Structure 1
Amino acid sequence: MRPGLTIGEFAALTHLSVRTLRRYHEAGLLEPAAVDRFTGYRYYSADQIPPAQVIHRLRELDVPLAEVKSILATDDPKRRTELIAGHLQRLEEQLDRTRSAVVSLRQLLRPDPADLKVELRSVPARTVAAVSDGVTLPDVLPWYAAAMAELDAVFPPAEHTGPPGGRYANELFTEGAGAVTVFRPVRSPHRAGRIEVLELPAIDLAVAVHHGPHDDIDVTYGRLGAWVVEHALAVDGPIYETYLVGPRDTDVPDAWRTEIGWPVFRVTPD
């Protein structure tokens, strides 16, 4: 009587190739139930089919072999779930980055500069409620979400006198870290927690509107920057964003509207 399933039979049942099964054996990831000491033939038991299928699914998700081994080695279901969840989170983040890159590339492959409408605007000085901090570029989105949530908690909609905005130091883009401010124009700005009362200076901006989700907002940034340089208007200073319609207004990303304001030489008001 045979000691179990041959490696070929086991490969057919688990959809793991013979070559892969041999590699997993050598790595100590999935050892055969028995190995014939004379022929070297590997034999597997039916009980090994479920763990082999788990390995197959994990490898389809690009879980590294070392992590697969850790997942299979632990007897703690909670720990096993944490290991798998951690990898899934990394995959989701990678998918988001890939999706953003695809959207941007599609926009860049069919540019239409004539579609970009730029307005030269003199923005008066404003007193706003704001949260400011030094932030690294990868942390901007979570930091922004937390700061806006804090502003919204202190200043309800009845207090709002305009859409929220952000001010981003050039170093954030050139060095990967810099000063960031998010703010709300409100009736009675006051301090609370991280919130401060901030005097935004009068400034002249070249303004363009980015339509839709922020996956390809860098394309609009680039087109606006090129327009400013072409018209010899650029000056040093932070970039301003105004969130006319955003995730706090609608859960339909295609409806989002973000104004990007690039500092320019003073223009004559209309």
Structure 2
Amino acid sequence: MTEDGIVTEPADDELLTIGAFAARARLSAKALRLYDRLGLLTPARVDEISGYRQYRAGQVERARLVALLRRLDMPLARIAEVVDADGPDAADLLAAYWADVEARLAGQRTLADYLRGRLSGRSSEMYGKFVVETVDVPERVVITETRHTLADELPAWIGASIGRLEAAARECGGVTAAPFVVYHSEVSMESDGPAESCVPVADEAAARAWVAEHGRTWETGVRVEPARRLAYTRITKAQVAHPQILAAFEAVEEWMRARGLSYGGPCREVYFADWDAAGAGDPVCDVAFPVV
């Protein structure tokens, strides 16, 4: 305050007690101590004897931003990235985080709808939301990578393994069809499969030579996938997440039972779209069972 009684804003480098700073930032002293402990907002000065904290007035905006980002349930590591970034970069980081949140919510909404139907005895009605069709696929040579993995690790492994196989396909005459993942046993939070990523390629001899050289590194292999008829339903990116995707698998199985069809092999997911470019509501995958 000046001699004329006019209230002035403190300069950015002026030191404030934790109480004064908390009032300016509209936060509690407890919250400020937490942010300090988490490394998100470090006091400008801490008295060696008393332990009293002092903050610069210029830290107020960072304190308010941290508090707002925490209200978005943003993980602490990502909050640190945002508040340490420059304006446009910080905005991009926030946009990327919120896109992830919306994708997760879209998937959870799908799961909640399915579970409401199941718990209320309307499972058949829920299955009816999936359009099931059949398609005949020809015999194909595939290079593969196999992994025992739990459901929480599965998405990262699928993306990485298909990426490795598609890169390898350049030495095997090129990719001839959409990559797919075969589940030889259940993959969940309790069961680890195994799962097998497959990329169809043009040159069998080149594929076998590539596997002979690299097979031990990533548990890769090569085989001839026989011609099959698949019963499948097409799902969106949001629906791919586990356990939401289980509703799609069950819908196809129910469709098969209603028509007296038998299983002709393990179930699979066929990834035909650019995953990174797709939005939560875009079709990206066919959930399929070989049928006879």
Is the pair's TM-score, using the shorter chain for normalization, greater than 0.5? Answer: yes
Say if 1:120 and 1:207, in contact at 8 Å, map to a contact too.
yes
Count residues in correspondence: 233
Aligned match for 2:249, one of 211, 221, 225 = 221
CA distance in 1, matches of 2:152, 2:56: 42
Question: Which TM-score applies when normalising by structure 2?
Answer: 0.57
Correspondences of 1:175-214 after superposition (within 5 Å): 175-189=190-204, 190-191=207-208, 192=210, 193=214, 194=218, 195-201=220-226, 205-211=230-236, 214=240
| 2:143 is the alignment partner of 1:135 | no
Q: Post-superposition shift, 1:167?
A: 0.4
Q: Post-superposition shift, 1:21?
A: 2.3
The CA RMSD over aligned residues, in Å, is 4.8
Identity %, equivalent residues: 21
Residues 134-162 of structure 1, C-alpha deviations (whole Å, 9 max, x = no match): 22211222212221222222223963332
Structure 2 residue ranges without an equivalent (≥5): 2-14, 47-51, 118-124
> SS of 2:194's equivalent?
strand
> SS of 2:153's equivalent?
helix
CA distance in 1, matches of 2:264, 2:84: 50
Q: Aligned in 2, Cα 1:94/1:126: closer, same or farther, shift over 3 Å?
A: closer
> SS of 1:97's equivalent?
helix
Structure 1 residue ranges without an equivalent (≥5): 35-42, 72-77
Correspondences of 1:27-176 after superposition (within 5 Å): 47-51=55-59, 53-62=61-70, 95=101, 96-105=103-112, 113-114=127-128, 116-120=130-134, 126-156=140-170, 159-173=174-188, 175-176=190-191
Residues 175-225 of structure 1, C-alpha deviations (whole Å, 9 max, x = no match): 342111111222213143244212335655422222555355444233223
CA distance in 2, matches of 1:205, 1:13: 64
Q: Which amino acid aligns with 1:58?
A: V
Q: Aligned in 2, Cα 1:112/1:22: closer, same or farther, shift over 3 Å?
A: closer
Q: Which amino acid aligns with 1:13?
A: R
Q: Aligned in 2, Cα 1:211/1:62: closer, same or farther, shift over 3 Å?
A: closer
> Equivalent residue for 2:270?
242
Q: Aligned in 2, Cα 1:170/1:13: closer, same or farther, shift over 3 Å?
A: same
Question: Which TM-score applies when normalising by structure 1?
Answer: 0.61
